[in-house]
Amino acid sequence: MTAHEAIDQLLTSAGVDSRRLRRALTLLSGGDWWTLADLVRETATSRRSIESLLRELPVERSGDRFRLPVDRASRYNGALGSDISDLADPVAALAGAHAETHERLAELIAKAPRGRHTLDHVSATADTVLRRALLLGTRFWLPGARLLCVGDHDLTSLAVRMLHPEVEVTVVDIDERILGYIDAQGLGVRTRWADLRLGLAPSARGQADLAITDPPYTPEGIGLFVARAAEGLRDRDHGRILLAYGASERTPMLALKVQNTLSDLNLLNEAIFPDFNRYDGAEAIGSAADLYILRPTTKTWPAVAARVDRLATAIYTQGPQSVEAASPEGAPAGEDAVAEFAPALLAGEWPRDLLPKVPRTRLSTLLAKPYAATPERVAVAVPAGLETALPRLLLATRAGHVRVLLAARPDDLSALTEAVRPVYDVTCRPADAGAVLDAVRLPPPDGAAARIVRRVLNSAHGKVANTWREALTETAGLTRKEARAAVEEAAPWARDLTALELPLHRLAGLAAAVSRTLP
């Protein structure tokens, strides 16, 4: 079979979807050099499909770049001058008027913390992030609106604030680095820590008119992130959820599973913009993802409540919390250390035969509300992949002594425990693949600032600003009005959120901020 015949057969087998491959042929025939990654992203075609095409073509090579020889180009040039997604992109014509914003976004994305494969991070392009913000502004009335970004490794929040400063934007994310980076840009985005597997940040619940998310592309990940986005909406009649999701053109059954997940949540699919989102990476899905606009119905809320009540923590495609992990929710090793500890409460997933008479609670319940009676000793099981919740779990227990069994020892354990040093004396010892951590509550501190910090952290489920103001009036003798003004000036970020939602960089800076409010 000749090369021409092989290409014709490849195009014929692709049927009506062959426009993707024909687009790649057109690009390769234009005289420019193309890398495999660029061809994937430009055509929104999976890496496997582009590789199949390149194997059949008599291409020239220059390092990792390809093109068709000039004498062969005319044979394959299909004269397809536009990307297949152009017809589905309602804001493509608007992006050119925002070149300066695009340049700034590209710089911010380039300097942002690198993605973590265990969180399925892949960076969207600056053009994508810009067009997301443009679409929000053309599709919805934004003055006075609130937007919730459910995860924001792509920095969509910054693009929205640049183009639509009238929008109040809140980001909830598990990645402390992203939260710190967004805060450092000074664009007024509200940041909240949350591990969505354990719950949405309380201050983000029922507060948004719009929510946007680009979650892990598993049915479990899509279901969880979209359910949390729905929990974040205050406008149940007119609110919308924007979802980025992509799958290879070779795996329609996977996309069907995801759409069934959305159907199970009783969400109306108002629109799908094919290949709207482009990425630097994710070549298995063509470095592209569709953009869904979802509208909740009256039946969405019961479905959301049912889903989050029975969700699994394994939602990713890689790492210890992947959907294919052998035992993603198993208890850490070291049960003997718990039995000898004699806890009054077990938090997390423990074997049923371990201390069967001791009361138990979920990690999500521990973070959601104070336990009815403050126990003196609490044992906490933290599965691999949930380590970033550690400082919040310690603060949430309010116990005198907490023993934590970590299934895996995180690289940044000292950073995680530093935030609770004003409350606990923390020691750690290795145990199998993980660690056993002991946190013993410290005696009351000396000094006004230290006492206020301790009070805020002791009341971790309460509003930071409220507890802070009350402590100022009692400790520093300020009036309520003076205390309110002092806290607002020193820490405007403290409004409406609990200590359990504070990103680590805010927790670490709490003592310095408190000192600035003292006379």
What is the per-residue pLDDT across 12-53, written as a single tens digit (0 to 9) for each? 888 777 878 888 888 888 889 999 999 998 888 889 989 888
Least confident of 70-84, 384-398, 417-431: 70-84
What gap in Å lies between CA 36 and CA 400, rounded to an integer?
57
Query: pLDDT band at 85, cuts 50/70/90?
Result: very low
pLDDT at 215: 94
pLDDT at 436: 93
Least confident of 78-92, 125-139, 235-249, 405-419: 78-92
pLDDT at 42: 86
Residue 243 has pLDDT above 70, yes or no: yes
> Which of 53-57, 84-88, 493-497 has maximum average pLDDT?
493-497
Residue 297 has pLDDT above 60, yes or no: yes
What gap in Å lies between CA 385 and CA 455, rounded to an integer?
30
Residue 263 has pLDDT above 50, yes or no: yes
Supply the Cα-derived Rg of the chain in whole angstroms: 26
3-state secondary structure 125-150: CHHHHHHHHHHHHHHCCCCCCEEEEE
Question: What are residue 247's phi and psi, to 5 degrees?
Answer: -145, 155
Tell me the average pLDDT across 113-135: 87
Tell me the average pLDDT across 358-384: 92
pLDDT at 465: 97
Residue 357 has pLDDT above 90, yes or no: yes
Question: What are residue 213's phi and psi, to 5 degrees?
Answer: -150, 145
pLDDT at 489: 96
Q: 44 or 157: whose pLDDT is higher?
A: 157
**pLDDT tens digits, residue range 381-395?**
999 889 999 999 999
pLDDT at 19: 79
What gap in Å lies between CA 143 and CA 478, rounded to an integer?
37
CA distances from 107 to 126, 186, 288, 479 (A): 9, 15, 21, 45
Residue 328 has pLDDT above 50, yes or no: no
pLDDT at 207: 96
What gap in Å lies between CA 131 and CA 244, rounded to an integer?
13
Q: What is the average pLDDT value for the chain, to the nearest integer?
A: 89
**pLDDT tens digits, residue range 440-479?**
999 999 999 999 999 999 999 999 999 999 999 999 889 9
Tell me the average pLDDT across 123-131: 96
Residue 314 has pLDDT above 80, yes or no: no
